[in-house]
Amino acid sequence: MKLNIALLAGDGIGPEVINEAVKVSDAIAKKFNHEITWTPALTGACAIDAVGVPYPDETHEVCMAADAVLFGAIGHPKYDNDPSAPVRPEQGLLLMRKKLGLFANVRPTFTFPSLIDNSPLKRERIEGTDLVFLRELTGGIYFGEKGRKDNGETAFDNCVYTRAEVQRLAKKGFELAMTRSKKLCCVDKANVLETSRLWRETVQAMEKDYPEVTVSYEFVDAVAMRLVQWPNSYDVLITENLFGDILTDEASVISGSMGLMPSASVGEHTSLYEPIHGSYPQATGLNIANPLATILSAAMMFEDAFGLKDEAEAIRAVVNKSLEQGIVTEDLAAKGTKAYKTSEVGDWLVANL
Amino acid sequence: MKLNIALLAGDGIGPEVINEAVKVSDAIAKKFNHEITWTPALTGACAIDAVGVPYPDETHEVCMAADAVLFGAIGHPKYDNDPSAPVRPEQGLLLMRKKLGLFANVRPTFTFPSLIDNSPLKRERIEGTDLVFLRELTGGIYFGEKGRKDNGETAFDNCVYTRAEVQRLAKKGFELAMTRSKKLCCVDKANVLETSRLWRETVQAMEKDYPEVTVSYEFVDAVAMRLVQWPNSYDVLITENLFGDILTDEASVISGSMGLMPSASVGEHTSLYEPIHGSYPQATGLNIANPLATILSAAMMFEDAFGLKDEAEAIRAVVNKSLEQGIVTEDLAAKGTKAYKTSEVGDWLVANL
Ligand SMILES: CC(C)[C@H](C(=O)O)[C@@H](O)C(=O)O
Ligand SMILES: CC(C)[C@H](C(=O)O)[C@@H](O)C(=O)O
């Protein structure tokens, strides 16, 4: 199979972790007789530095022409201290989501048996956790009208959702639930927000099309609690953009394996795969960043974008093996044991595929 | 001193826990020579049942005429399943906050040494946690314009803040920080929201008036993570209404003492004190609910509304004693030990004051 992949390494440790994901993907392609063409393109702070905008048109064209996008991380401290600066890397992210129509962000949280003790939660609370958030990614308060009035003394952000936007996200939620334990939780704040009431009534109306799926409706504040108390009581959760931003990040730390969590953003055009961690600027160039979240994102890409399940499983298996054998970067290395470099982990994975 | 207190017991277990707080408060008043007048009034589902609205005008007048309000909990399952019903208990809560001008919700999260092992978090993560959220309570997306367009196919909620609203909340935050460790964290989403940028620039401009306070600015998603990872790295946090709703609930479960957490809502008129837990309808009338959060809310009331610090300390001391001696309701009783009834806990506290 010919796989045409856009490669957006981004900023900070992005290029380093992407590099290892490319190595592992190429090795898998060789093993399974595929041919990958990687097309690199600029995004984030490095794009601002090079061409003045964080998501250049050329990058968008590369993404649109590709079968999938593999993304590293963006963000640089020089843009951090002033969130009102006219050009920021995050704007590139939002523009990319909008222009690629990436309306669903798929964020799994699961545990690795060998890493459970890294969790801030007690073992009995976290064991067996295996949940997936579907976060709406191109609507809500992120993209509504925003601005100032009264000479700058009043600020506003409008949160807007249409029934069609809710339906297309919820449809993915129901479909995902059908492939798992048939449990779907719709997270909203329907006791206060009109947009949440639209979410809830839309999902309720869709229940009849998926009679096997058991749907629950929970308020966002209650979910923020239960995620810490009984994370393994959840399976598939669907929610709007801002709630999803907060809850998926909360969920990511409970597993103790944040440096390993992959994600996908899917929608109308090319799908995008990326680690959930950030650009970790302090570690840039040190060859110490953990590449596994990016490598596991590549596995998601093989399975979901190309339907290549065996290839994905082969990557996951070798990642598990590396964890069990302690071939890990310093964030995961047990006290007193050797910490491997980013590139050494990639090399080991390639050698052990 | 004459203490004129409005008593809003509410629904579910509200009346039961309020009853014990009244017993303990009366005993304290006797001991310290104060005279309390309690004026009961209806709110919540019981008010809807009685007079058709969840926050009747008579109740508002009772609150306005009082020196403080002691509040139980509201909510009843018969109103739960339909968040779009025209009259709901929560609307009473929002109306009460708005009419009483309760713009700052004070939500401490702290640990009791004897209860640390109840936390879902590992001991070393939670030990020493002592933080306070100041949540803005009468603005933002809760109170902005909301509604439908396009024949109901589009819903919107507008989030609005004025500089003055941010200033009065932030002022309380700076003042509170000055009485504690002089650390203030402003929680926002200034990389996306215009209201957050107004929050941030307003707080930044106030820094010069409190040169001793060290202010940090963190994004809401990052705080949702760090609250689980290193809760004891926080002290005073200020934030807008919806972020506060989510984060204070998240924070409440990490201590393992959610059933004990008090809160205050303060602002333009009479201040209100209430446990953070809900109306726990399943336990109604069973005399099993934990009254300590309400009793500790009464302690906050003595200290903050009346300046009676010794009285507050006396309540906290006897509560600590009850915990150490295991005079606790079933939610806290260790396996194989006796669980006391709600009223028995109150009686024991009164006898041991
Ligand atoms: C950087 C920021 C705009 C972004 C978001 O809020 O969506 C990030 O937090 C994320 O979750 O991908
Ligand atoms: C019941 C609901 C309207 C309320 C809120 O969202 O403010 C509650 O969750 C709270 O935090 O007091």
- The overall average pLDDT reported for chain B is 96
pTM: predicted TM-score of the whole model, two decimal places: 0.96
Instruction: Return the pLDDT at B77.
Output: 85
pLDDT at B82: 72
Question: Looking at B16-174, which runs of residues are DSSP E strands?
Answer: 35-40, 68-73, 104-110, 130-136, 146-149, 154-162
pLDDT of residue A352: 98
Between chain A and chain B, the number of residue pairs with CB atoms below 8 A apart is: 171
Q: Which of A76, A84, A93 to mutate to test the pocket of ligand 1 (most atoms within 8 A of CB)?
A: A93
Please identify which of the residues A49, A117, A157, A249 carries the catalytic annotation: A249
Give the integer Cα–Cα distance in Å for A139 and A142. 6
Q: Are the C-beta atoms of B327 and B336 separated by less than 8 Å?
A: no
Which residue among B156, B164, B243 places its CB closest to the CB of A160?
B156
C-alpha dist (Å) from residue B143 to A240, B94, B147: 19, 9, 12
Alpha-carbon distance B168 to B161, whole Å? 12
- Model confidence pLDDT, tens digit, residues B8-30: 999 999 999 999 999 999 999 99
pLDDT number for residue B335: 86
DSSP 3-state of B155 = strand
**Which atom of ligand 2 lies closest to the CA of B276?**
12
Contact A146 B225 (CB under 8 A): no
Closest listed ligand to the CA of B277: 2
The order of strands in the sheet holding A146-149 is A146-149, A154-162, B154-162, B146-149
The stretches in chain A having pLDDT less than 70 are: 81
**Separation of CA A97 and ligand 2 centre (Å):** 32
Partner-chain contact A157 B195, CB within 8 Å: yes
Distance A213 CA to ligand 2 centre (A): 29
The tens digit of pLDDT for each residue in B305-342 reads: 999 999 999 999 999 999 999 999 999 998 889 999 99
pLDDT at A58: 98
Are A228 and B254 inside 8 Å of each other by CB? yes
Looking at A182-285, list the stretches that DSSP marks H as alpha helix, in order from N- to C-terminal side: 194-206, 220-229, 241-254
Told to judge if A80 belongs to the known catalytic residues of this protein, a careful annotator would answer no
| Tokens 């924070």 belong to residue | B251
Name the residue among A88, A227, A229 with its Cβ closest to that of B191. A88
Give A-chain residues touching B216 at CB under 8 angstroms.
none
User: Can you give the pLDDT at residue A345?
Assistant: 98
With CA atoms as reference, the chain A residue closest to B225 would be A250
Nearest-CA residue for atom 8 of ligand 2 = B245
Inter-chain residue contact A155 with B254, CB threshold 8 Å: no
Which domains, ranges and CATH numbers included, belong to chain A?
1-100+269-353 (3.40.718.10), 106-257 (3.40.718.10)
Kind and range of the H or E run holding B296: helix B292-300
Tell me which residue has tokens 């946690």: B129
- Interface test mutation site (partner B, options A150, A215, A228, A263, max chain B beta carbons within 10 A): A228
- What's the pLDDT score for residue B76? 87
- Annotation says A130 is catalytic: no
Is A97 known as a binding-site position?
A: yes
Residues in chain A: 353
Give the best residue of B109, B192, B255 to mutate against chain A (max A CB count within 10 A): B192
Q: Is the pLDDT of residue B81 over 70?
A: no
Residue A37's Cβ-side half-sphere holds a number of Cα atoms within 13 Å equal to 9
- Cβ atoms of A79 and A54 within 8 Å: the answer is no
Please name the residue whose Cα sits nearest to atom 9 of ligand 1. A245
Q: How far apart are CA B271 and CA B273, in angstroms?
A: 7
Query: Which residue type does A339 have?
Result: A
Across A332-348, b (16+ Cβ under 10 Å) vs e yields beeeeeeebbbebbbbb
Catalytic annotation, pick one of A55, A188, A189, A273: A189
Please report the pLDDT score of residue B87 as a whole number: 85
A221 lines ligand 2 (CB under 6 A): yes
CA gap B311, B303 in Å, rounded: 7
Q: How many Å apart are CA A317 and CA A341, to the nearest integer?
A: 20
Mutation site for B-interface testing, chosen from A123, A187, A194 by largest number of B Cβ within 10 Å:
A194
Contact between A343 and A294 (Cβ < 8 Å): no
Task: Give the residue among B116, B234, B254, B310 at the shortest CA–CA distance from A253.
Answer: B254
A347 is in an annotated binding site: no
pLDDT of amino acid A79? 81
- Read off the amino acid at residue B277: H
Per residue in A15-37, is it b (16+ CB within 10 Å) or e — as a string?
bbbbbbbbbbbebbbeeeebebe
Distance A86 CA to ligand 1 centre (A): 17
